[in-house]
Amino acid sequence: MNKETQAKKTEKAKFSFKTLGRVFSLMFKLKPGMTVAITLFIMFSALVSSIPSLFVQKVLKIVTDCLESASYDVSAVDWETAKTLIVPYLVILASLYFISMVLITTYNQLGVITVQKYISALRVKMFNGMQNLPIRYFDTHKHGDIMSYYTNDIDTLRELLMNAVPAVIQSGVIITTVLFLMLWFSVWMTLVVALGIALMLFVSKKVTNGASKYFRQQQKSMGKIEGYVQEIINGEKVVKVFNMEENVKKGFDEVNGEWFGTSFKAHADASVLAPIILNIGNVLYVLCATVGGILILNKVPNIGIKSIFSGVSVLGVDVLVPFMSMTKQFTGNVNNASQQINSIETGMAGAERIFALMDEKPEIDDGYVTLVNAKTDKDGNITESEERTNKWAWRHPHTDGTLTYTPLLGDVTLNGVDFPYDGEKEVLHDVSVYAQPGQKVAFVGATGAGKTTIANLLNRYYDIADGKIRYDGININKIKKSDLRRSLGIVLQDTNLFSGTIMENIRYGRLDATDKECKEAAKLAGADDFITRLPNGYETALSNNGSNLSQGQRQLLSIARVAVANPPVMILDEATSSIDTRTEAIVQRGMDKLMEGRTVFVIAHRLSTIMNSDVIMVLDHGRIIERGDHEKLLLEKGVYYQLYTGAFELE
């Protein structure tokens, strides 16, 4: 099933009890004790709230009996006797209403606590699960839409659990109780109400099925809005530079108009249910009065649960009057439950999107070779060390139970590697690279030639389609991804800094690094000079991806972050592209020191940064067309020679 077919199937999906069941099962799993307690308490409170109706019917019956005994002559009623009979019930009734008020207030407060804790735990579960998703997911989904899961969708689920569900439970318990009382008084009259119930269920099903599709579309449209807004905020400078404000407004009007359309249809369909139910209830009330009057006039024998104990009697006013009151109470609670349809459908749509995120397949990591601190004895044997030794080894368990240790040297080879991003069009074809420990290997080529793709494959952000990648002689598929990435340091062209101080951003490379080590790394990267000139130095707070720094300064911090990690293999993806030539010379000296004794992969457009590389590889459309050092490639007078002499530009 393709994505388009799946999307259409989702949009046409009806109300899903499976999704609702999953919401509650997850709630019981994350907060079991509190969920059970609050659910039972809500049901108990609703039951207590329904008990007063018993005493209301009793008071009405006493009044009716008094009127009937006086042949419906109000002046002939013995009100003193009636008062004596009614007052105790009124006292009990007032007490029950007070207790009901206290219980409802209590469960509302407890419900808020329970739901908020559940939502908090759910957000943590979603976020932790998201950290295990592959890079491919974030490359194919708008970041604003992903953020919508944590804001809009989670909020609709909170509204569902905090308001809609308790209201439906309360109404459901009262409806069940009243239905039992109806059967207690009269089966015939209850059958009349059953016709109304059938009509209400039929209408509810039709309206709910129609609204469900639009509520799902509404949540998707809201995700599009947040994705669009996030994209425009990130590129606001570009919008201003090219005077695209009006075009951006039109774009927003389109996505906002889409949301308005689906939201209007969803709420229009759902909102029509409550008035319909209310009017069905009014018609049912009149119908019950009419049918009851006919049964009384024809002296039809009344059958009910009560008749089992007191015998069958003729249907009279003493049954009809309280029954009419119960009918009003019954339809009123059905109407109250129907008014929650908007919150229920919106919450269900939000829950489906949340579960879709949680159901995304996590990044597969079947590696079993791990990276450990190592030490070497006098005989040259490698053993593990619990302390940091600045020497590393690959711990390789074997099927026979033995362990072998391979020193981490930085010997990286790619042999006949093929790779397509979309599974069809190849980005790399038959690429072979041999990087010996301590070598500097450079890649040059036009945009889209596959240079950055090689870096992504080394980190196993994506898995190759064919060929082999070996690291110190070990197939990287056997190496645990977290350990593989811990051994690689990468400086990207796009710098990402996090909210916090400059010191904290440098320490992001290695959390156990001391302040002294962070400062040494900054000096090595050439960042110490500008940092010390800031008002608060290394304690300068950064926010909004370091917007208070220049692009070059942000890149220097990114290099310092890798320097403090001190990895044996480094990947520099246009690491100096955002730095001016003067600063580049400073950074280059630091980078040269940093690269000493390490295997380094350099991706660059500036040939000045790769001239001293041991091997330079020229890529074209995913293939290596030239390889050799600077002098060798110049002698060959091929593409690299043309690039160096300016006869040819990267396009």
Same domain, 234 and 199: yes
Both tokens assigned to 7: 């999307």
DSSP label at residue 547: T
Q: What percent of the chain has pLDDT over 70?
A: 87
Same domain, 104 and 251: yes
How much is the pLDDT for 212? 72
Same domain, 162 and 244: yes
pLDDT in tens, 454-503: 988 998 988 888 999 999 999 999 999 989 988 888 887 777 888 889 99
In a domain? residue 651? no
Same domain, 504 and 608: yes
pLDDT in tens, 574-607: 777 666 777 677 667 667 777 777 899 988 777 7
Using 50, 70 and 90 to split pLDDT, how confident is the model at 449? confident
pLDDT in tens, 307-357: 777 777 788 777 787 788 788 888 888 888 877 877 888 888 889 889 999
Of 203-217, 241-255, 377-391, 610-624, the range with the highest mean pLDDT is: 610-624
Over residues 377-391, the mean pLDDT reads 81
Mean pLDDT of the chain: 81
Same domain, 503 and 635: yes
Same domain, 399 and 416: no
Same domain, 476 and 387: no
Alpha-carbon span 58 to 522, nearest angstrom: 84
In a domain? residue 206? yes
Residue 48 pLDDT > 80? no
Both tokens assigned to 356: 């879709």
How much is the pLDDT for 651? 44
Same domain, 225 and 345: yes
Using 50, 70 and 90 to split pLDDT, how confident is the model at 543? confident
pLDDT in tens, 98-151: 777 777 777 777 777 888 888 888 988 999 998 889 888 888 888 888 888 888
Does 572 or 574 have the greater pLDDT score?
Answer: 572
Task: Return the SS3 of 601.
Answer: strand
In a domain? residue 10? no
Using 50, 70 and 90 to split pLDDT, how confident is the model at 78? low
Q: How many domains does the chain have?
A: 3
Over residues 35-63, the mean pLDDT reads 67
Same domain, 261 and 279: yes
Same domain, 428 and 482: yes
Instruction: Look up residue 32 and give its amino acid.
Output: P
440 backbone dihedrals φ, ψ, rounded to 5°: -110, 115
CATH of the domain at 594: 3.40.50.300
Q: Which of 85-89, 235-239, 520-524, 568-572 has the lowest mean pLDDT?
A: 85-89
Owning domain of residue 388: 370-407
How much is the pLDDT for 478? 93
Note the pTM of the prediction, 2 decimals: 0.73
| Long-range Cβ contact pairs of 38-43 (< 8 A, separation 24 or more) | 38/107, 38/110, 38/111, 38/114, 39/169, 41/103, 41/106, 41/107, 41/110, 42/107, 42/111, 42/166, 42/169, 42/170, 43/169, 43/173
Residue 444 pLDDT > 60? yes
